Amino acid sequence: MNPGPLVFLATFFALATSWLGFVVMPQLQIGRQQQVEIKDTGEMYPARRPGLAKQGEEVYRANGCYYCHSQQVRPLGFGTDVARGWGARPSPVQSVAQDYLYDQPVMLGSQRVGPDLTNIGLRQTNEVWLLSHLYNPQLTSKGSTMPPYPFLFMKSKLALGEKPSPNAVFVVNGPKENYEILPTDKAKALVAYLGSLHSEAIVFETPPFPSTNAPAASTNAPVIATATNSVPTNSPAK
C-alpha cells in the first residue's frame, strides 16, 4: 500500500471539517446579515459610517491602534467590562455580530493595554480632549503608556500677537517660540471615527433587562410592556 494518498486524504478530511465548521457555517449564519430596524426608534442599525469617519477607520488601521485597544465588550459575567462603563447596552448581552456590519476591516483587537473603545463615541464626546490626547496622551492622562501621535499634527508658527486658531490643540506662547499645534486631516478623520464608535441599540440578540419603570409617554422612548393600562386614571368622556 502506498500511504501517500492516505496522508493526503487525512489532511483533506481534517481541514475540510474545520473549514466547513469554522468558516462556511458561520458565514452562512452571520455572514449575510443585513441592517435591522430598531423597534424603539425605527432607525436602521447599524448606520453606515459617514465619509470622514470612514477615512478615520483607515488611520486607525494603518497605525495599529487595535494592538492596544479592543472593540468588543464582553457580556455580563465575563469580567468587568460592563462595570468599567465600556458597555452601553442595557442588556446582559453586549457586543454582537450586528454591530460590526460596516466595519472594514473589523478590528476587534485582542489586547487591552488601553481601554475598550467600542463605545468611545458615547463616552468621550469632547473632540478637543480626543485631539489633545492623541497629540500627547500625557496632557490628558498623566502616566499613560499610549504613544503620542505628533505625526498626525502640524506645527504652525505664530506671528507676534497673532491669535491662535480655534482648532489649535496646543499653544506655546513662550519668549523664544510662538507656535500652535493644529490637527491634520488624518487626525480629524480619526476623531470622527472615534465619534462613530457606539453600539447601544437593542436588537433581538440583546434583549434588554426587564424595566420596572412605567414607559415614557414619548413615542421615541423605548417602551416596555410591564406597566401599561394597569391603573385607569380617567375614563372616556361620556
* Near ligand HEC in 50-79, by CB under 6 A: 60, 63, 65, 67-69
CA angle 152, 148, 122 (to 5 degrees): 80
What is the smallest separation between the CB atom of 43 and other proteins, expressed in angstroms?
9
List Cα–Cα distances, 198 to 47, 71, 182, in angstroms: 10, 10, 26
The interface region with ligand HEC, picked from 12-20, 118-126, 159-167, 205-213 by CB under 6 A, is 118-126
* 120 binding partner (options ligand HEC, other proteins, none; Cβ < 5 to 8 Å by kind): ligand HEC
Concatenating the DSSP letter of every residue in the chain gives: --HHHHHHHHHHHHHHHHHIIIIIHHHHHHTT---EE-TTT--EESPPPPHHHHHHHHHHHHTTGGGT----PPPTTSTTTTTTT----SSS----GGGGTT-SS----S--SS---TTHHHH---HHHHHHHHH-HHHHSTT--SPP-GGGEEEEE--TTPPPPTT-SEEEE-SS-EEEEEE-HHHHHHHHHHHT-------TTSPPPPP-SPPPSSTTS---GGGSSSS---PPP-
State which residue, 152 or 182, has the beta carbon closest to ligand HEC: 152
Residue 92, C-beta contacts closer than 8 angstroms, at least 6 positions apart: 75, 76, 77, 207, 209
- Kindly state whether residue 47 participates in binding other proteins, applying the rule CB under 8 A: no
* 161 binding partner (options ligand HEC, other proteins, none; Cβ < 5 to 8 Å by kind): none
For residue 105 the three cell numbers come to: 476591516
- Kindly state whether residue 153 participates in binding other proteins, applying the rule CB under 8 A: no
Find the binder of other proteins among 159, 160, 175, 234 (CB under 8 A). 234
* 220 binding partner (options ligand HEC, other proteins, none; Cβ < 5 to 8 Å by kind): other proteins
State which residue, 145 or 220, has the beta carbon closest to ligand HEC: 145
Residues 138-197 that bind ligand HEC (CB under 6 A): 141, 144-147, 149, 190, 194
What is the smallest separation between the CB atom of 184 and other proteins, expressed in angstroms?
11
Find the binder of other proteins among 161, 176, 212, 218 (CB under 8 A). 218
Residues 56-85 that bind other proteins (CB under 8 A): 61-68, 70, 72-80, 83-84
Give the binding site for ligand HEC (CB under 6 A). 60, 63, 65, 67-69, 113-115, 120, 123-124, 130, 133, 137, 141, 144-147, 149, 190, 194
